Chains A and B, each alone.
Chain A
C-alpha cells in the first residue's frame, strides 16, 4: 500500500521524479565523463610510449646528448651480445598539420625481439628492398594516413628544426598494433638523414637479464649510461606533470559538481514530498514504515539515475576524450583515442557517487520527515522554519570545513594530494555556508526599497530557502570552480609573460635550425658572429639534460652579457651573485631549489663524464620553463668539466639599438650556415601560444562542468516554479497581469543567480589562491604573483545570471499563459 502511494505520487508528479532522476544522472554522468576523458588521454599517451618501448628492459643513452654509432656497432659485433636495437627518433612537424609527430627510425633486422609489430611492418614482396634502399620510405598507420590525408605512394612534407624533408608513404599499415597513430616509421638510415644524426643514435634498446647487464656494463665507454626502461619512462614518456595535474583537478571538480547536483535533486524531491509524507503519517503510517518507504524510493531513484548517468557519461566521455586527446596531440605528440578507455575505477567512483550521494541526500530529510509529528510535516511553513533553523548550523559547519581546508592546503605540510583535499574541503565549506549568505544578503535586500513585485520575489526566496539553498549552492560550486581555475590560469599566464619578457632581453636569438635542445651551432659561425660590427654584445648558451636526484635537469653552460644577466629575476639577495657565478657557483631555478631544498650557499653535485662536480648555489631564479628544474653554470666551468665546446643558442644585442643592421649581417651569415634567427618577440609569442594550448582543455572541461551545473539548476528552478503553479494562479486571480507573473518568476531566478555568483566570486578567488600557493607550489615548486582579472569575475557573474535567467523562461511563459481557473480547482 505504502509503495503504491509512493508510486502513485511519482506517477502523478512525473516531472518531479524525472527531474530528480535527471539530477542524479547528470551528476553521475559528469563525473564519469571527465574521468573517462582523463584516463583515456593518459592511456593513449602510455600506449604510444609502450609501443615504442616494446619488450626492452634497458636502454643505452648518453644523458643530454646522442649516442655514437660506434658504441652500438662495436657491441653488436662482440660474441655474447644480448639483443639490441638502435633507434633514431625526433619530433617533426607535418606541413599544414597541427601538432608534432614522432619520426622513429629503426633497423628492421634488429627489431624482432623488441617490437614484433614494428618488425612485421609489411608482408608485401619487395617491401624490405624498397624500405632499405629508398630514402624517405615511410610506413604509417591507417589512422595516421587518414589524419594526414596520405595514400600509399604519396609524398609527405615534413619539417625538422626548420629544415624541410620529404617522406614517401611506402606502406599504409592496416594492423592496428603495428604503428601508433603518432608515429612516422622510417628506416634508421632515413631518420639519420632527416634528423641530421649521421654517426649518432638516439638510444639503443636492450633486453637484459642480470648476466647480460653485467656484460654490457663492462663494455660501455664512459659517458654512456645503461638505464632501465622504468628510469627512462619517468622523465620522457610521461605526460608533463602540469597537464596531469590539470586533469586531476578537473576530475575532482567534476566530482564536486556532480555531488551537488545529486544533493540538489534529491533534497528538492524530498522537500516537495512533505505533504504526502504528512498525510501518510496522519493516516497512521509508522515513522519506521515511512522511513523505509522513502529509502526504498531513493534506492530505486539512485539505481535508475545512476544507470542513466552511466550511459550518458560514456557518451559524453567519448566527446571529451577526443577533445583531451586533441590537446595532448598538439602539446606533446599525436595520440588518437580510437576506443574509449573504460576504466573500472572511473565507473566505481561514478556509481559510488550516484548511490551514496542520493542516499545521503535522502536520509536526513527522510529521518526528519519520519520523526516529526504529522501535522508539522503537513505544514510547509513548519518545514521551512526547520530549514531556516538549520541554516546557521550548516554555516558554522561550513566555516569549520573552510578553515580546515585552508589549514590543510596552506599551513600544514603535505603533498599535492593534501592540497587537493584542502581545496575540496574549502569548496564544500563555502557551499554549506551559502544558505546563510543568502539569508544575510536577503536581509539587506529586504530592507532596500524595492518595487512591490520585486519585494515579493525577495521574500519568496527566503521562504523557499530549503528548496533553493542547495540549488544555489550547486550553481555556486560550479561558478566558483570556474573562477578559481580561471584566476589561476590568468595569474600563471601573467607571471609567465612577465618572466619571459624579462628574460628575453636580447634583440635577436640565433640557434641551429631551431630552438630545440640538441642542435649545435657551427663553431666557425659563433666566431663570425662575434666579429660582426653590428653586434654590441652577445650571450652564449649550451644546454644539456642531466639526471640530478632523479630529475631530468636542464643544465646550461652560459656566457652572459650584462643585459642577459639583468633578465634573471633572482629570488634571493642579488648582491655579489654574479661574482659568485663567474667564480663557478651556479644559478638554480625555483622549482629545483624547492624540490631539493636548496638555498643560496648550499652545495650541489653535477654528474660529468669525469665524475661528479661539486658546485655552490649562487642564487635561486624564477623559472617556469621546466618543472624538472634548470641550472645555469658559467660557460668556462662547463667547458672544462664536460669537455664540450659546443653552443646551442646565441643571444645578440645590437650596437646602438640598430636591430635591422644586425639582422641583415646575421642573415648574410645564414646563407652559409643552417641557422634560425628569431627576434625575442617571436619567441615570446610562440611560448605564450604553447601556454594557451596547454590550458585550452581546462577551458573545455570548465565549460562542461558549468553546463552540467547549469542544467541541474535549470531543472531545480523549473521544478520549483512549476510546483508553484497554483500559487501563481492565485496571484493571477488576485489581479496580477501575465507580465507581472513572468516578471516575478524571472526576478526570483535572477536573484538566485546573482546570489550564487556573489558567493562564488570570493570562493573562487580563494580557490585560485590555494591552487597557486599550495597546489602549484607543491607540484612544481614555483611561485607566482596572484592577479585577479576583473573581466573574468564579471564573466562569471554574467554566466550565473544567464543560467538563472534561462531557467526562468519556460516556467514564466507557462505560468503566464495558463488559465488560472483549472489550477485553482485542482486539489
Chain B
C-alpha cells in the first residue's frame, strides 16, 4: 500500500470494517480504486512543489496532510539460514483537516493504522495483523525528537538520529524486536527532489524518501519460538493528500536489494484498460548511493505466474523485470505464494527472490486486484 494515495475517504470506509476482527460474510470489501478514488478534503495541504526537508522534524508526523506512513519491510535470516520476511507499517490518517474539537482529551482528527506481517518461508506460513487507534491520550502518535512513532505496543523508536532505529511489534502469534542501522547507503529522495507525482493533476503527489538498505538484527518470534535474525530492511517515508486518477486502478511495487549492493525501486501504476500509466516511476540506486531515475518506457514487466486468493482474486506473484539500459533481466519470484494481507484492504505484500542476470531479495506489493477479471 506504499503506492501513495491512501486517503481519508478510504480509511474512514475501512476503519469501521477493521473494527470487526471476525468480519461477517456480508461485510463489504473495499476496492482500492473505489476507496481511493475520492478526493481528500480540500482543507488538507497538498504536495505541489518539492520541499526543503527538515530533519529530524520531517521524520515525524505531518498532520496537515491527509495520509502518511512509516513503511518497513525486510528479509531476515537466522544463523543457520532460515529465512523470514517482515513488514511493519504505521499509517497516519487525517480524518478531517485542522484542529480537533477541544471537548475531550480523547478527541483527535488523527487515526493510526498498523499492519504487521511475518513470512515464515521455511514454515510456509504468512502471519499478519492489523491495529487501529486514535492519536490521543497516548494511544498512538508520532513525535520527534527523540523520534517515536507508536500504535499501542507497536513502535519505532530512536534517539536524536533516526538510526539506530528500534522496532518493537508483538502480536498474539508473532513478534519482532529489531534494531535497524543506518548502513552505508544514503537517504534517497524519490521523484523530483522528494516530490513524487502520481498523475498529471497538480497536487496529486507525495513527499517521498527511502532508506533502501538498513542492516538489521534482532529477535523474531513465531508462536513461542524465538529466532535470532539478521538481514536488510527497507524503509519508505511518504505523506500526501492525493488520490488515484480516474483511470488508475492499482499498482505493482518492487523494492529489490541486489547482492551486488544496488537497489531497485519501481512502481507500475496500472490503468483501467490494463495498460501502464505514464506516471509510473522508479529509481536504481548504485553502490555509491547515486541514483538513476526510471520512467515507464525503460522498464518492461511481464507476469510469469499467478496465485489465486480464496475470493478468486488472481495476483501476479512472479514477474520478469527487464531494464535493458542497465543490463538487468530479472526473475522476481514470491518466496511464498500466500502473502496476502487479508485485512481492511486486501493486498498482496511479500518477500521475493531475485534471480536472472542479478541475484538478490526484496519485497513486492500488488494492490488494486479484484476477483473480477
The answer to whether A126 and B13 have CB atoms under 8 Å apart is yes
- Does A190 contact B104, Cβ atoms closer than 8 Å? yes
B136 near A189 with CB under 8 A, answer yes
Fill in one digit per residue for B3-17: 1 if any A CB lies within 8 Å of its CB, else 0: 000001101110111
Residues of B within 8 A of A129 (CB): 8, 11-12, 15, 95-96
Q: Indicate if A9 sits at the interface (CB-CB under 8 A).
A: no
CA distance A109 to B28 in the complex (A): 18
* Of the residues B16, B24, B95, B134, contact of A107 by C-beta under 8 Å: B134
Q: Is the CB of B153 within 8 A of A77?
A: yes
CB–CB B21/A79 < 8 A: no
Which B207-263 residues sit within 8 Å CB-CB of chain A? none
CA distance A122 to B16 in the complex (A): 7
| Selected interface stretch from A191-199, A528-536, A739-747 | A191-199
B132 contacts the other chain (Cβ, under 8 Å)? yes
Q: Is A385 an interface residue (CB 8 A)?
A: no
Binary B-proximity of A120-134 (CB < 8 A = 1, otherwise 0): 111101111110111
Judge whether A73 is part of the interface by a CB distance below 8 angstroms.
Answer: yes
A135 contacts B19, C-beta separation under 8 Å: no
Contacts of B22 in A (CB 8 A): 112, 116
The answer to whether residues A135 and B16 also contact, given A76-B153, A189-B106 and a CB cut-off of 8 A, is no
Among B127-143, those with CB < 8 Å from A are 131-134, 136-139
Cα distance A116–B134 in the bound complex, in angstroms = 19
The answer, yes or no, to whether B20 is at the interface (CB within 8 Å) is: yes
B109 A193 Cβ-Cβ under 8 A? no
The reply to whether A116 and B107 form a contact with Cβ atoms under 8 Å apart is no
Contact of A126 among B9, B20, B136 (CB under 8 A): B9
- Mark contacts of B102-131 with chain A using CB atoms, 8 A cut-off: 1 yes-contact digit, 0 otherwise: 011111110100000000000000000001
| 8 Å CB interface, A194-215 against B | 198-199
Expressed in whole angstroms, the Cα–Cα distance for A113 and B9 within the complex equals: 25
Q: Does B324 contact A (CB under 8 A)?
A: no
Q: Does B152 contact A (CB under 8 A)?
A: yes
The reply to whether the CB of A80 lies closer than 8 angstroms to some CB of chain B is yes
Q: Does A188 contact B (CB under 8 A)?
A: yes
**Which residues of A are found within 8 Å of B111, using beta-carbon distances?**
109, 128, 132
State whether A69 touches B137 (Cβ < 8 A): yes
1/0 per residue, CB under 8 A from B, across A96-127: the answer is: 00000000000111011100100111110111
> Is A81 an interface position by the 8 A CB rule?
yes
Query: Are A128 and B15 in contact, CB atoms less than 8 angstroms apart?
Result: yes
Query: In this assembly, does B168 line the interface, its C-beta being within 8 Å of a C-beta of chain A?
Result: yes
Question: Which residues of chain A have C-beta atoms less than 8 A from B103's C-beta?
Answer: 135, 189-190, 193
Nearest A residue (CB) for B133: A109
A76 and B152 form a contact (CB under 8 A): yes
The CA-CA distance from A132 to B140 in the complex, in Å, is 15
- In chain B, positions 157-179 with a C-beta closer than 8 Å to chain A are 168, 170, 175
CA distance A128 to B134 in the complex (A): 11
B150 close to chain A: CB less than 8 A: yes
Q: Mark B161-199, 1 if CB is under 8 A from A, else 0.
A: 000000010100001000000000000000000000000
Q: Is B200 an interface residue (CB 8 A)?
A: no
A108: nearest residue on chain B (CB-CB)? Answer: B19
Residues of A within 8 A of B95 (CB): 128-129, 132-133
Q: Are B104 and A193 in contact (CB under 8 A)?
A: yes
**Is A112's CB under 8 angstroms from B96's CB?**
no
The reply to whether B12 and A126 form a contact with Cβ atoms under 8 Å apart is yes
Name the residue of chain A whose CB is nearest to the CB of B22.
A116
Chain B contact surface mostly: loop
Size category, A interface: 35 or more
Would you call A133 and B106 a contact (CB within 8 A)? Answer: no
Query: Please, which residue of chain B has its CB at the minimum distance from the CB of A84?
Result: B152
CB neighbours (8 Å) of A111 from chain B are 19
Instruction: Known contacts A107-B134, A123-B28, A128-B95; decide if A135 and B9 are in contact (CB<8 Å).
Output: no
Q: Would you give the shortest CB distance from B157 to chain A, in whole angstroms? A: 12
Closest to A111 in B: B19
Within 8 A of B (CB), among A460-500: none
B158 CB to closest chain A CB, in angstroms?
17
Tell me how far the C-beta of B15 lies from the nearest C-beta in chain A, rounded to whole angstroms.
Answer: 4
A76-B152, A77-B152, A109-B132 are known contacts. Are A119 and B100 too (CB-CB below 8 A)?
no
- At the interface, yes or no: A78 with Cβ under 8 Å from chain B? yes
B27 at the interface (CB under 8 A from A): yes
Given contacts A79-B175, A125-B13, A128-B12, contact A109 B104 (CB under 8 A): no
Given A79-B170, A80-B170, check contact A128 B16 (CB 8 Å): yes
Interface residue B25 (Cβ < 8 Å from any Cβ of A):
no
Most buried by A among B12, B28, B109, B168: B12
A121 CA to B155 CA in the complex, in Å?
A: 29
With beta carbons under 8 angstroms apart, the residue of B9, B20, B134 that contacts A112 is B20
CB distance from A88 to the nearest CB of B (A): 9
A120 and B19 in contact, given A128-B95, A133-B100 (Cβ under 8 angstroms): yes
A133-B100, A190-B103, A193-B103 known; A77 and B150 CB under 8 Å? yes
Q: What is the CA–CA distance of A199 and B95 in the complex, to the nearest angstrom?
A: 23
Chain B residues contacting A134 (CB-CB under 8 Å) are 101
- Beyond A109-B111, A123-B16, A130-B12, 18 extra complex contacts between A and B, CB < 8 Å: A69-B138, A79-B170, A81-B153, A108-B19, A109-B15, A109-B19, A109-B131, A113-B21, A121-B16, A127-B16, A133-B107, A135-B107, A187-B106, A189-B103, A189-B104, A189-B105, A189-B107, A193-B107
- 28 residue pairs of the A-B complex, CB under 8 angstroms, read A74-B138, A76-B139, A76-B152, A77-B150, A79-B175, A109-B19, A109-B111, A109-B132, A109-B133, A109-B134, A112-B20, A119-B19, A123-B16, A123-B17, A123-B27, A128-B12, A128-B95, A129-B8, A129-B12, A129-B96, A133-B101, A133-B109, A134-B101, A135-B101, A189-B103, A189-B108, A190-B104, A193-B103
7 A-B pairs closest in CB distance: A79-B170, A189-B106, A129-B12, A189-B104, A193-B103, A129-B95, A109-B132
